[in-house]
Structure 1
Amino acid sequence: MHEHSESSHAESVASHPNTPQEFWEGHYGQRDQIWSGNPNPLLVREAARLPAGRALDLGCGEGADAVWLATQGWRVTAVDVSSTALERGRAAAVRAGVDELIDWQQHDLGVSFPDAEFDLVSAQFLQSPIPLDRERILQNALDSLAPGGSLLVVGHAEFPPWSKMAHAGEPLPSAQEVLSALHLDARAWFTALCSEEPRSVVGPDGNPVTLVDSVVMVTRATPTVSHGQP
């Protein structure tokens, strides 16, 4: 579900499958490569400021983010519902010489979630034209973070102008709405980012356009150790 290119996303999938796996397999089956192959820039910006550790890439798509993280020394768990996407990601990791640093796992995140602890969870454009319990998934992501670990959530704050949803349906959540939906205890979490940020891209018609992304990054507090007398 990564936004590695500015295509019409999965809206062009004509079939109406019964499961997320069928839907996304249909999406990735349209072409040999869906996304650009470049890592998401906001992940690059924020992860570059962190010490490498254990990362979870939710909805890893064809693996560009996971491969980039691995090249920076992260050990990565890369998750997607599509086996086709995972196969392409694994092939990209082999080409980059980092496949040993990446654990590729197939999950329908509405049903199952990796059982491990992470220093960074990345949810890049975890938005879907079919039903997706994003709030529950992000709660599971929070639960998976180690003390001092961070969750980075990047999504469309506005529909791209070429999207079929641009002039219909509910508006997309703002960064503040995404943050509020996490239901964080202020004593246990720090908010590092909560903003809308513009991004210049080339649209499907070849013309430049500015998109707006919501960006939220929160960090689990590290418990303090008391050195007082018992």
Structure 2
Amino acid sequence: MSGHPQHTVGEDFGDGRAFWEGRYAESDRIWSGEPNTALVREVAELPPGRALDLGCGEGADVVWLARQGWTVTGTDIAETALVRARAHAAEAGVADRTRFEQHVLGASFPEGTYDLVTASFLHSPDVSFPREAILRRAAEAVAPGGTLLVIGHAGLAPWETYEEGDPHLALHLPSPQEVLESLRLPEGEWDVLTAAEHDRVQHAPDGEAHHRRDNALKVRRHAA
């Protein structure tokens, strides 16, 4: 991928920490600092409670949720991302409503249950990344009456170029229906609230605006 470390398909990424630390080392900030528009749209009407953000990156979604009254735990594989996320929360005045934990999600997971669990763009070029198992664990962490929101890309970024053998070319980006099926939710215990693709504007590194397709799956666990 242009502007990113090159790897071959099937390369051993270990547990992924080295890859993502290298990704964050490329710039003082690699994300926009703004919350994901799909998350804002899907969560804005929910009553605040306890939230968990998986793969929180530099903390924009965590900060937005905290500003809406949520008590939020953010996790990421990269300590560099978490350092930036803590600083973002402090600058926004919501440090008392947030906490950040480092997890290699295929090996460890935050304790407890939550009224909202979010996973936004939890993709990795590591073909061994156990995304489906992680999302099933995320569903287990949803409290009765709570919500799971999974936001993903529906296609690769239009401005990026890839060389033959780049793992991003082998990365499967599932549809909302595929994500739903992979969750294996018990029948009669969940409601599907959103399962759709949507278009958004995203800016390339050179500042040019592009339209990109993403998708979202929102499901709610029945109250006890």
TM-score (norm 2): 0.89
Is 1:80 matched with 2:72?
Answer: no
2:147 to 132, 146, 150: 150
Partner of 1:92: 88
The CA deviation at 1:170 is 5.8
1:29 to 19, 25, 30: 25
The CA deviation at 1:61 is 0.3
Structure 2 residue matching 1:25: 3-state secondary structure: helix
Is 1:172 matched with 2:173?
Answer: yes
Alignment partners' CA distance in 2, 1:73 and 1:180: 32
Alignment partners' CA distance in 2, 1:169 and 1:60: 24
State the AA in 1 paired with 2:4.
S
The CA deviation at 1:222 is 1.1
TM-score (norm 1): 0.87
Q: RCO (CA 8 Å, sep 6+): is it higher in 1 or 2?
A: 2
Partner of 1:218: 219
Structure 2 residue matching 1:105: 3-state secondary structure: strand
The CA deviation at 1:180 is 1.2
Partner of 1:12: 4
Counting only pairs closer than 5 Å after superposition, residues 1-230 of structure 1 correspond to structure 2 as 12-14=4-6, 18-130=14-126, 131-163=128-160, 164=162, 168-169=169-170, 171-223=172-224
Bigger Rg, structure 1 or 2: 1
Is the Cα–Cα contact under 8 Å of residues 194 and 217 in structure 2 kept in the other structure? yes
Structure 1 residue matching 2:170: 3-state secondary structure: coil
Gaps of 5+ in 2: none
Report how many aligned residue pairs link the two structures.
215
Gaps of 5+ in 1: 1-7, 224-230
Question: More displaced, 200-209 or 21-30?
Answer: 200-209
The CA deviation at 1:118 is 0.1
